[in-house]
Structure 1
Amino acid sequence: MTSTTQISLLLLLIFASLPSAPSSWHGVRGTRSPIEDPLHFEEATISDIQAAFNDGKLTSFKLVQHYLEKINALNPYLNAVVEVNPNALDDAAKADLQRSVDSHLSPLHGIPVLVKDNINTRDKLNTTSGSFALLGSIVSCDAGVIHRLRNAGAIILGKASMSEWDNFRSIMAPQGWSPRGGQGRNPYPTTNTPCGTSSGSAIAVASNLVTVSLGTDLDGAITCPAVMNSVVGIKPTVGITSRSGMVPISPRLQTIGPMARTMEDAVKLLDAITGFDPLDAKATKAAKRFIPNGGFQKSLKKDGLKGKRVGILRSFFDEYSKGSLEANTFTTHFHTMRLKGAILVDNLKMKNIEIMLNPIANGEGIALLAEFKLSLNAYLKDLVYSPVRSLADVIAFNNHHPIEERKDEYGQKIFLASQKTNGIDVAAKKAMKRMDKLSKEGVTDLMKEKNLDAVVFPHFYGLHAFGIGGFPIVNVPAGYNGSGAPFGISFAGLRGSDATLIEIAYAFEQATQVRKPPPMLV
């Protein structure tokens, strides 16, 4: 059997697990949910759903069934879901049975969660990072965060699409595209991109294909799609959530975080996945002190802006929105923050900002190339079975499958450059030190000098500046431009300031309440 034939057969098996799709997604516009429930289900929160569970008006089985029908109807257009879990309905039925005999359950019990396709699940789902090269591979165990979700009673609904290999194969591939998932599409039709790389996780939540989802982040992979798809995204401090069982790029900088339609839901999901993991011991042990006793839900305070010193990175706002509707909206938001008790420190300037935003000049490019080869090779060798066992094998796979992987169109220059590296050499170490120095002088020193609790910036401006230091970021929807495309606002802080950022972002969300569902769901 040829490898191309093997891929074709695997594809047939995967798509057979998805419900059959109609020829057009437009037919579901305005369709009433099959779940008879008084709440407006399309924007239902975890609390709404749990209340419906407790009142006997809804079951996990019906909830999962509803989402599967929504995926069946909308996913052929949105390309947010790579594959659904064939055991999802059985898992939901078990959750219902457990609920009937146990009243002390997690807030995530019975709640469907979509998982980015680079997070391991030891079940019938594939974990491929969007690539055909990993199709059919078998992981040794659940990722640390998946283990915690299953213990919390959550339902793994399926795998969300993403930018292939976290957009680390090629500089040519579009955001939100992968060979397996196709081109992810933003549900807000006037927006040209879903952004990446956790694109499917954001699209699915925005489109109400699932309650909440998991993404991964290094340089805006959670926060950028959150902005562009009008959802909440939380990039936690590295180590607050385990990265074990994640297809890696940089163990120093990557993290796993939640995406949701509300801050409350995102934080409930965050609480379910935080904590020590022996398979990611160094990072999770170091970050354990940043997790509050009782969890991050304690930070959901409507007065969370009161007394907080928030720095405005004015140049980013000017570059993004000067003279536009967004500029007026941000001005209004700053006024609201002041009314809620925030102390705004305006016109902040980050030292060496032009260098920090340039992945070549700041050293990030050199460091990541070296880290990627080492960490990916280690990940692939740990698999129980895989068609590829090294980065060199993946490169060869793409060469042998140029049509499936669109290799001639997009190439694999980043892969080739990474393959040429030889461990963490002198150049890589120097690059890492440069990143640390820039982060200290540009972010840490500035925040300490001004005694700031957070800094605020728009959209994806400034993400590289915070990405190279592994700083936490919380993004909240901020509004819609004249054509209806979403934009967001991001709050960033020093490592370990997650609880404070959540207080600020939640208070902002509650004071503004700007999120609107995509027009196709209205």
Structure 2
Amino acid sequence: MSSSASMLNLQISLLLLISFALSLSVSQSSTYHVFSIKEASVVDLQNAFKQNQLTSRKLVEFYIGEIRRLNLVLRGVIEVNPDALYQADLADQQRKSKVPGLLYGLHGIPILLKNNIAIEDKLNTTAGSFALLKSIVPRDAGVVMKLRKARAIILGKASLSEWANFCSLAAPNGWSAIGGQVDPYGSSSGSAISVAVNMVAVSLGTETDGSILCPTSFNGVVGIKPTVGLTSRAGVIQVSPRQDTIGFDYCDAQATKEASKYIPRGGYMQFLKVDGLKGKRLGIVRNPFFNFANGSDLSQVFESHFQTEMIKEFGQEIFLVVDATNGIEDTEKNALLNLAKLTRYGFEKTMIENKLDALVTPRADAAPVLVIRGYPGISVLAGFDNNGVPFGIAFGGFKGSEPKLIEIAYGFEQATKIRKPPSFKP
């Protein structure tokens, strides 16, 4: 998700290894000889391992220290894995023994998982709800299996908007009963926050409608929402099989089979090109799809969230409304067909007629359009407002256009190089 000049390096490392690019980043400052953990990429961390400047144990100890220092205020992490140091020691032993085939990529790198991604160990998988606290999952999520195979270290669980923002219309963004209030934006709030303030090396999030692109945009980190089906959603508490990017059911098998043709030979690292913007044709959306002016009613309601005491329980009217239905009937099916037509004759037609490589919007305003048909998108830091709050720029494209989007986003990032660590102090 982030880093200074290496944000996309990290993001794509994860996409390359497990076909799952959701959020990623680096860590806070601590110096071992000439090496500084602060804003280091995964490649930097691996090089430090190889040069005996750093161990996985030291790295995990550092992150746990940062979580203890910052998390009481930021609430980015719900739970720390009690086995994290054991996993770190194991990684160090493997590195020392030079176990073949392991000493690269995410080996020995700490990772936070959004708390709707199942893991079969001592950590809870709750989607932020007390209803699932201490529940037992049958197996690791598909992406977790791949992380374990890569010998990554599961550092803990990141906070999120309860039930990924699909529980209550009244609950403010980033809030869950277990995690408390977290903002800005969600539902992968903790995944973005933890990365932005360097409490972790890598974090994973999920997206149904803006849950990756929005929080990464407003936290000054990079987020990639892959084409639907490109990543396994097995073991993830998902909202919509049509839109979620991370079960193995028939629909998911179809989506995965369809999307597998998009995975490029040789992986995604090859598309990290400094001149990735060269020759690209971009369509800039001048009027954002969803916005509200300062001082508007919506803006005042948003601000009021910070002036009221957060209670331990909000309603679950979305659950109640859904429970009263018989699922998707003709009306809903027709609506979905209309949305599909809208993207074909709107987004896709615009892209084709104007020979565009990507659509560009401020922040993550295009997220609702991209999710309708499972299009990919990447958010990259674009600047800071007068109050120092970061904002991003999002690039979206056709299904399977991740290579082109990576070139564009990385080229933009390298041309601007405006990432700076937050100055937040607890």
TM-score interval, normalised by the smaller of the two chains = 0.7 to 0.9
Q: What residue number does 1:72 align with?
A: 68
Q: 1:36 to 1:521 in 2, by over 3 A?
A: farther
1-structure distance, mates of 2:324, 2:209 = 23
Secondary structure in 1 matching 2:334: helix
Secondary structure in 1 matching 2:91: helix
1-structure distance, mates of 2:258, 2:45 = 35
Q: What residue number does 1:426 align with?
A: 330
1:374-453 alignment to 2 at 5 Å? 406-407=312-313, 410-453=314-357
Q: What residue number does 1:470 align with?
A: 374
1:87-106 alignment to 2 at 5 Å? 87-100=83-96, 101-102=98-99, 104=101, 105-106=103-104
1-structure distance, mates of 2:237, 2:384 = 34
2-structure distance, mates of 1:319, 1:33 = 36
Q: What residue number does 1:140 align with?
A: 138
Please report how far the alpha carbon of residue 468 of structure 1 lies from its aligned counterpart in structure 2 after TM superposition: 1.8
Q: What residue number does 2:233 align with?
A: 243
Please report how far the alpha carbon of residue 290 of structure 1 lies from its aligned counterpart in structure 2 after TM superposition: 0.8
* From 145, 150, 170, the counterpart of 2:168: 170
Moved more, 49-58 or 417-426: 417-426
1-structure distance, mates of 2:236, 2:402 = 22
Please report how far the alpha carbon of residue 281 of structure 1 lies from its aligned counterpart in structure 2 after TM superposition: 2.5
Q: What residue number does 1:218 align with?
A: 208
2-structure distance, mates of 1:91, 1:279 = 35
Q: 1:318 to 1:194 in 2, by over 3 A?
A: closer
1:188-203 alignment to 2 at 5 Å? 193-203=183-193
1-structure distance, mates of 2:194, 2:128 = 16
User: Are 1:116 and 2:114 an aligned pair?
Assistant: yes
1-structure distance, mates of 2:385, 2:321 = 39
Q: 1:445 to 1:170 in 2, by over 3 A?
A: same
Q: What residue number does 2:152 align with?
A: 154
What is the root-mean-square deviation of aligned Cα atoms in Å? 2.3
2-structure distance, mates of 1:89, 1:455 = 43
Please report how far the alpha carbon of residue 175 of structure 1 lies from its aligned counterpart in structure 2 after TM superposition: 0.6
1-structure distance, mates of 2:59, 2:249 = 31
Q: 1:427 to 1:321 in 2, by over 3 A?
A: closer
Q: What residue number does 2:42 align with?
A: 46
Would you say the 8 A contact 2:30–2:36 is kept in 1?
A: no
Would you say the 8 A contact 2:366–2:396 is kept in 1?
A: no
> TM-score if structure 2 supplies the norm length?
0.85
Q: What residue number does 1:382 align with?
A: none
Cα offsets for 1:104-157 (capped at 9, x unmatched)? 433111111100000001111000000000001111111111111111111110
Percent identical pairs in the alignment equals 53
Would you say the 8 A contact 1:244–1:279 is kept in 2?
A: no
Secondary structure in 2 matching 1:478: strand
* From 292, 299, 306, the counterpart of 2:271: 299
1:319-334 alignment to 2 at 5 Å? none
1:280-299 alignment to 2 at 5 Å? 280-299=252-271
1:257-296 alignment to 2 at 5 Å? 280-296=252-268
Q: What residue number does 1:350 align with?
A: none
Secondary structure in 1 matching 2:224: strand
Secondary structure in 2 matching 1:464: helix
* From 111, 119, 127, the counterpart of 1:129: 127
Please report how far the alpha carbon of residue 319 of structure 1 lies from its aligned counterpart in structure 2 after TM superposition: 6.4
Secondary structure in 2 matching 1:73: helix
2-structure distance, mates of 1:120, 1:282 = 22
2-structure distance, mates of 1:463, 1:318 = 10
2-structure distance, mates of 1:421, 1:216 = 26
Please report how far the alpha carbon of residue 170 of structure 1 lies from its aligned counterpart in structure 2 after TM superposition: 0.7
1:506-517 alignment to 2 at 5 Å? 506-517=410-421
Q: What residue number does 1:311 align with?
A: 283
Which letter maps to 1:159?
Answer: K
Secondary structure in 2 matching 1:457: strand
Q: 1:174 to 1:317 in 2, by over 3 A?
A: closer
Cα offsets for 1:410-458 (capped at 9, x unmatched)? 3111111111111221122112111111111121111111111101000
2-structure distance, mates of 1:277, 1:427 = 24
Radius of gyration: which is bigger? 1
Q: 1:413 to 1:480 in 2, by over 3 A?
A: same
Q: What residue number does 2:54 align with?
A: 58
Q: What residue number does 1:253 align with?
A: 243
Secondary structure in 1 matching 2:104: coil
* From 394, 403, 420, the counterpart of 1:490: 394
> TM-score if structure 1 supplies the norm length?
0.70
Which letter maps to 1:491?
Answer: F
Q: 1:278 to 1:42 in 2, by over 3 A?
A: farther
Would you say the 8 A contact 1:113–1:212 is kept in 2?
A: yes
Structure 1, unmatched stretches of 5+, are: 1-31, 185-192, 257-275, 323-403
Q: 1:429 to 1:37 in 2, by over 3 A?
A: farther
Which letter maps to 2:106?
Answer: L
Please report how far the alpha carbon of residue 317 of structure 1 lies from its aligned counterpart in structure 2 after TM superposition: 9.5
2-structure distance, mates of 1:99, 1:515 = 32
Aligned residues: 381
2-structure distance, mates of 1:231, 1:37 = 27
Runs of 4+ in 1 over 6 A off after TM superposition: 276-279, 317-322
Please report how far the alpha carbon of residue 282 of structure 1 lies from its aligned counterpart in structure 2 after TM superposition: 2.1
Secondary structure in 2 matching 1:476: strand
Would you say the 8 A contact 2:30–2:37 is kept in 1?
A: no
Please report how far the alpha carbon of residue 280 of structure 1 lies from its aligned counterpart in structure 2 after TM superposition: 4.3
Q: What residue number does 1:21 align with?
A: none
